[in-house]
Structures are given as structure tokens and as C-alpha cells.
Structure 1
């Protein structure tokens, strides 16, 4: 098929590569180059870089406005495929390809419609993660679903690791759906059940609440790592928590209380402690949690969240 592909982050790259094996991708639409790093160097999106390597023309657009719509429509695509582009597809672009647009979404729809499905699912402690390919419609992530798949995610995976696994499986799922559309055999089924929603995470979403059981604290840590980042406050200063896991064979300590061991810094919750092994204090680089705690002279009695 003649495809237009829209996507921006690294999670969209496996699908782009997979579809390029079997189809004619006439253009890739992605967000404009963004300033990255301390020097704010303008850097192409991961999808833009992959498209250049594949020799596919790139359309950089912050939003799919009239100009972008005209450029895409002029290519006369048979199908549009979108994976985490970061912008809305509206009419008349929605109807420009002969078969419309399909969207790979990293959830088992109608669960977790929105911008942060993997992160919100992890925070909620969902037992299963998955991917769905659906027909794009004007309403957010509400179109009929061609196919869904439960994806095995490594135990304890943070959001970035979980998304890597979902991106690989989702690429194969999308390829199967596109093949079915090309053959005329694909059938989409309306979504059933009460939807849940996954709005974009912000910095306050990363604040850990030590009054909760360790399972809930750890679930939030997984969901907000690496972005926007799990954090607490120590004596009024923000401390980013980079690596952590529930402590094993450890007695309970008061919520927010801090106890150091040889290998970790234990922070109390409503049940058993969270073992923190790597942190990043405000204005400093990442370091081992035990090294950070040794540098906190006179910090005995200070509590997380204070």
C-alpha cells in the first residue's frame, strides 16, 4: 500500500521500520527538530532520523494544519498510520487517505485513552499491558479496534522499558492489520466497556506519597520513571529517585523515615520500606543513594517528604 506514516518518539520507530519492509511509505510526518541537552542543540526526532536512514521524505509539522494537510493529500496515500505523533488529525486530513488512518495505541482499549497509557497503567498497578490498533476518528482514541494484544513486560519494568517491549510487539500487530486492510479482510470492532483516561503526566505526578503501602509507592515510581521522574523532598529540597525497589526481608519503619544500609537507603511506607539505590539531588548529577546519604551531615531524623 501507499502509506503516510506519522510519529515522533523512539517508540514509533519499530513500526516505521516494520512497515517499510512491505509497503511504499511516501512520506513520514513528525514533529519539528527540538532543542536537546544542556547546549540546546536542535535535534531531529527519532522518527525523522529513522526516515532519513530509510530514504523516506520527511514532513516536519508542529501541527497538522492546512499546509500539512495539502502536502499529505497531494501524495494520494491509500492509508495513514500514526504512532505517537503528538498532534491531532482532523478533517479534511482524517479522510484524505482512501482507507483513512489507523493508530497504534499502547493500551488495551478502551482502557487508558490519551497521551500516557503505559505510565498510567503502571501507576494504577494493572496486571496486564498491551497494544491496540484502531481506526482513527475525531473523538480521542475512540475508534473501532482492528486488533489488540497483551504484551509480556519484564517484572518491575519502568515506563521506558515497558514501552520498548510494547513498541516491538505493536509494530508486528500494526503490520498484520495493514496487511489485512490491503487484502480487504480486516474488520474493526467497536470498543466495548467503560473507558479510562490517561492524561499527560506533569512534574507533580512524580511526587511519591510515603503514607501509602509500598506496592502503590513502587507502582507510581515505575509509572513516572524516567519522565517526569519520581521524587520526594528532603528538608525542603527536591530529590529525584532514579532506581528503587521494594525492600526484602526488612522490618517496617515509619512512613517517610530514612534508614541507611550498606547497599541502599530505605524509606518507610505504610507497609514495608522502599529500597532506593540511585538518586539525583537538585542541581547535581546522579549518584548512589548511599553516597548521597553519607553526605547529608546532621540529617539524622530528617524524613522524606519534609
Structure 2
């Protein structure tokens, strides 16, 4: 089984430090395990698919309840629930497992008779009284190399901090938040212009085989978990405010923030197209940072926050360097190619930055909230 502390091989594509060993015989491999799978978003689907394709048996899926989606707010199963139903796997839908509200779900979990539970982004805490229900406990695929970035948004926080190599661990759930010993580990390099959404998708795809390998080890009695080592860091849940872009900083740091919060909660700034206009929200998608010495002359001569086209590409001038923009979404418009938007933009568009942004942020947020409230009220009157 994997030594989670072993240094990864340096390579640009995804790889794992865990190398599956071929069992000498079917007896050595151990009996297939009965698996309870807990997950909710699209990110958690690849691991479920890997488990279904393995020799182990998924006896049930725990996921969040159906949620309203779209303009019509139609109740829709989670991506994991939809995948489970496609495979004919029984589902337990619960937004909590504690107290009276979670009692029915907890009883359903016990009735499944699982040997092990696997968690990937389920969205609720597993109470202590359920941790020991499966023989092998609960395993979690967490998208960081623990104890770094314990918590809800590990990939986003790591990218926002400028990290360029990000991993994932399979570890044993304990009562503490992401504190358990690690069975296996893998890493991925962050490619230029890659977003946290891109990286999460890659880690999830690679995570399936890693989880199956750990289950094989548990079945064969060869799995070994290593206690976490080092000082922990914490990945708090992101809010919309975390995506606010201040172009006054270094391009690499600004780019790390933009790519780290894309697609969720999203990167945005306050755009001023003309001095007489009120600033409007301007969303940014993936960006490519460029150092000062690599900028086209027109971009180098621009002021901080300027949005412009040069060398057939769209740019955002930063305090040092600039960001090459791929896609943007002006207020009231759909996501579009940044260069197409910039060529058709009127005036001298720019994002508020530095002290100007700080001075206006509170006022702008309040004005935006008031506009949303007025729109909601108007829509309510129209429906009535």
C-alpha cells in the first residue's frame, strides 16, 4: 500500500504515488467489500463510477436531497443520485445525519450492512455514532495533501495561495475535521490558465482508481494508514466576496485568485466604461498571467485596471504584469470570448483597483443589493 509521505515523481500530468500491487491469487485479494458511497456534486460522480466498475459492490448511496434548479426551480436529484439511479443503486437522501432529522437516514445506513463507507464531497458531517458502523469505517477522498487545506474548499484555497502542485488523499474519517491517517496520495501539477474547476475534475477522475486501490488493500488486509505530519492549514468555505478582483497586485497573484475561484464562486470586478457611468459587475473566467517583461508595448503603457486589446488578445493591466483574458461576462450579458467583447466595447473600460476599489466597494455592494431587491419585488408583483 502507498506510503503517503513518499515524495511524488516530478511530471506534468496526473500521477499517484500509490502503485497497485498485483495479488498473488484471488484468495490474497480478499473478498469484495460492500461499499456505502456518500457524495453529492458532479465532482463526486467519477469515484462512484470507478467503484461500480470495480470488483467491490456498492450497496447504497448517501446524497443530499433533491434541490430546486433553474429559473423554474424544478426539484432535481443531485448528480450522484442521478448516477446511482442509473445503476439501480438504492439511495438515502439526507441533508444531515444528526439528531431527529437524521435518525431515519442513520437507520437506513445501518440496514445496508456496508463493510466500508467512502465519502467524496457529501456535504454534511458524519456523526461519531456512525463512524464505527461499517467494519472498516469511513474513508474520505479529500482534495489536498493533508494536513494542508483541511476544510470545505481545499483546491480553491490552494490555488488562491499560488500553489502550483496540488494533491488528494484517501484518509480515515475521525471525529476531527480531516484529521485522520492517510492511506494513499496523488498529485497534479497546475497548468497555466487552469481553473480550480478543471483541477477538481482531474483529481476526481484520478481519485476513483486510488480509492479502489485502498479498498483492495483493506480487503486483502494489506492497507496501512500513516498519521498526518506537519502544521495544518484551513480551507474555509468561499463566499461571493472572495471572488472580488483587485488588479493593483502582481499579475501572478491576481491570476491565482481568478483561476482559484473559477467557476465557483466566480471572479468578478467593478467595471467602469466611462467616467459618467456607474460601475457594473464584470465577471472573469480563466486567465493567463504575464510578467512585466513579456507584455506587448500597448499593454505595458496602460494604466492599472485598464481592459484592452493588444496582439489580438484581451488584457487586464495589473500593478505588475498583466492578465490575458479568455472569457468574460459583462453585466446583463452571456459569457463570451474576451477579445470579442473588448473589440466591441465603447469608451475606455477599466476595473476599479487599489484605493479606488477600496473606497467604493461598500457603496457599490449596497447599491447592487438594492437593485436586486427592487428586481425581486418587481418580479413578485408581476407573478401576483
Fold shared, TM-score > 0.5 on shorter chain: yes
1:92 matched residue in structure 2: 129
Task: Flag the structure with larger Rg.
Answer: 2
User: Given the alignment of the two structures, is residue 279 of structure 1 paired with residue 279 of structure 2, yes or no?
Assistant: no
SS in 1 for 2:214: helix
Structure 1 CA distance for aligned equivalents of residues 151 and 187 of structure 2:
18
User: Given the alignment of the two structures, is residue 15 of structure 1 paired with residue 47 of structure 2, yes or no?
Assistant: yes
Cα distance 1:304–1:243, how it changes in 2: closer, same or farther (>3 A)? Answer: farther
How big is the shift at 1:208? 1.2
Q: Mind listing any 5+ residue stretches in structure 1 that lack a counterpart?
A: none
Q: Deviations over 1:240-299 (max 9, x none)?
A: 0124322554243332123333633322112111122421122221223344345543x3
Indicate if the aligned counterparts of 2:268 and 2:283 stay in contact, CA closer than 8 A.
yes
How big is the shift at 1:110? 0.8
2:306 matched residue in structure 1: 257
* TM-score, reference length from structure 1: 0.94
2:170 matched residue in structure 1: 133
Q: Deviations over 1:97-129 (max 9, x none)?
A: 111101000111111111111111111111211
Alignment RMSD: 1.8
Point out the more displaced range, 264-273 or 130-139: 264-273
* TM-score, reference length from structure 2: 0.75
2:371 matched residue in structure 1: none
How big is the shift at 1:301? 6.8
1:66 matched residue in structure 2: 103
2:208 matched residue in structure 1: 171
Indicate if the aligned counterparts of 2:181 and 2:228 stay in contact, CA closer than 8 A.
yes
Indicate if the aligned counterparts of 1:256 and 1:267 stay in contact, CA closer than 8 A.
yes
User: Given the alignment of the two structures, is residue 288 of structure 1 paired with residue 337 of structure 2, yes or no?
Assistant: yes
Cα distance 1:267–1:304, how it changes in 2: closer, same or farther (>3 A)? Answer: farther
Q: Deviations over 1:155-196 (max 9, x none)?
A: 431111111110111111111111111111111111000011
Q: Mind listing any 5+ residue stretches in structure 2 that lack a counterpart?
A: 1-32, 273-278, 358-384
1:50 matched residue in structure 2: 83
Indicate if the aligned counterparts of 1:158 and 1:226 stay in contact, CA closer than 8 A.
yes
Aligned residue among 227, 231, 238 for 1:194: 231
Indicate if the aligned counterparts of 1:263 and 1:277 stay in contact, CA closer than 8 A.
no
